[in-house]
Amino acid sequence: MYYVYIVSDSIGETAEIVAKAVLSQFDNSTLETRRFHKVDGADRITEIVKEAAAENAVIFYTLVTPELKHVLWTETAAEDVPAVDILGPCIDAIANRFRIGSNQEVGKLRQLDEDYFHRVAAVEFAVQYDDGKDPRGFQKADLVILGVSRSSKTPVSMYLANHNLLVANLPLVPEVPIPEIIYQLPRKKIIGLTIRPQVLNEIRSERLKVMGAGACGVNYAEPNRLLEELDYAAKIYRRLGCRVLDVSNKAVEETAANILEIYKEALHE
């Protein structure tokens, strides 16, 4: 296993996003990130660098404080640990080009502004109205996502919540009628997720291994059961007249991006 250390004097989210984008270009089974956030002292940086050296790791960092950056430069050079400054070159390019100074404010991106509070509220909404826990959420939501179990409804809802959208989702099960309120919603507000049976079988089979054979029911990954559930979902989608996305082998980010496009198009209709 190879490691990429994320070091930040804030929460390290920016560096982690960059690291994940980079790691996606490699075999992720051999690469792993470790995040060290709220690093606020030279001693802590020294500890992290020594640990990175012992594990033959690479460091990605977003340190704003000049003193901490200097310590990291010194320590990584001494330990021969590759270190990549995520923010520094971008800040320097703007400062040099436009002759303006940065404010060197730690956690600037995480200021508790209005946008941040909206995002927190959206995440709380997604949690509260996950898996149809409370049908009242369907009317309040900006988007309602429908799909069979393990079609990525929850992670997609959470991802969209981080884009300030209020998202509720509902699992489709043949034996459980969907709430009548769903049929009263504007169809442009509803997104149906579908998935190829073989892909769904693989996902559910892995889930059974993790949870235990009896945890999700005997027929959870049985091919005929999967076809029954997917046929039921398709009938619901046709009745609703909603947009349908195939999530087979798609990353959550890709599915969410497609839904965002559909949502933005609907706003202009």
Taking every pair of C-alpha atoms in the chain, what is the biggest distance, in angstroms? Answer: 67
109 touches 14 (CB < 8 A): yes
Whether residues 203 and 159 share a domain: the answer is: yes
Q: Are residues 185 and 231 in the same domain?
A: yes
Identify the bridge partners of residue 146 per DSSP, sorted by sequence position: 170, 192
Question: What's the whole-model pTM score?
Answer: 0.60
178 and 259 fall within a common domain: yes
E-strand ranges in the chain read 2-8, 31-36, 58-62, 83-85, 143-147, 167-171, 190-194, 243-246
The number of distinct structural domains making up the chain is 2
- Assess whether 176 and 48 both reside in one domain: no
Burial class (CB in 10 A: 0-12, 13-18, 19+), 232: middle
> 81: which 2 tokens?
């640990």
Query: What does the pLDDT look like over 62-86, one tens digit per residue?
Result: 988 889 999 999 999 999 999 999 9
Q: Which helix (H) or strand (E) holds 120?
A: helix 114-128
Is there a single domain that holds both residue 119 and residue 226? yes
Q: CB under 8 Å to 35, separation ≥6 — which residues?
A: 5, 6, 8, 12, 16
Same domain, 133 and 193: yes
Same structural domain for residues 175 and 128?
Answer: yes
Together in a domain, 150 and 198: yes
Same domain, yes or no: 207 and 88? no
Structure tokens at 221: 């990954």
Q: How far apart are CA 175 and CA 162, in angstroms?
A: 33
Q: Are residues 129 and 59 in the same domain?
A: no
Residue 91 lies in domain = 2-110
The domain boundary residue, chosen from 83, 110, 137: 110
Q: Which residue has the higher pLDDT, 20 or 255?
A: 255
- CATH number of 26's domain: 3.40.50.2300
Instruction: Judge if 36 and 160 occupy the same domain.
Output: no
Domain final position from 68, 95, 110? 110
Judged against a pLDDT cut of 90, whether residue 268 lies above it is answered with no
Q: How confident is the model at residue 157 (pLDDT cuts 50, 70, 90)?
A: very high
The average pLDDT across 32-43 equals 92
Q: pLDDT of 203-223, one tens digit each?
A: 999 888 877 655 566 688 899
Q: How far apart are CA 269 and CA 264, in angstroms?
A: 9
Confidence (pLDDT) at 169: 97
Write down which residue in 62, 90, 110 finishes a domain: 110
In this structure, what token pair is assigned to residue 190? Answer: 């509803």
d(CA 164, CA 178): 26
**Which pLDDT score, from 0 to 100, does residue 131 have?**
94
Q: Are residues 142 and 216 in the same domain?
A: yes
- Please give the pLDDT value at position 112: 46
CATH number of the domain at 223, please. 3.40.50
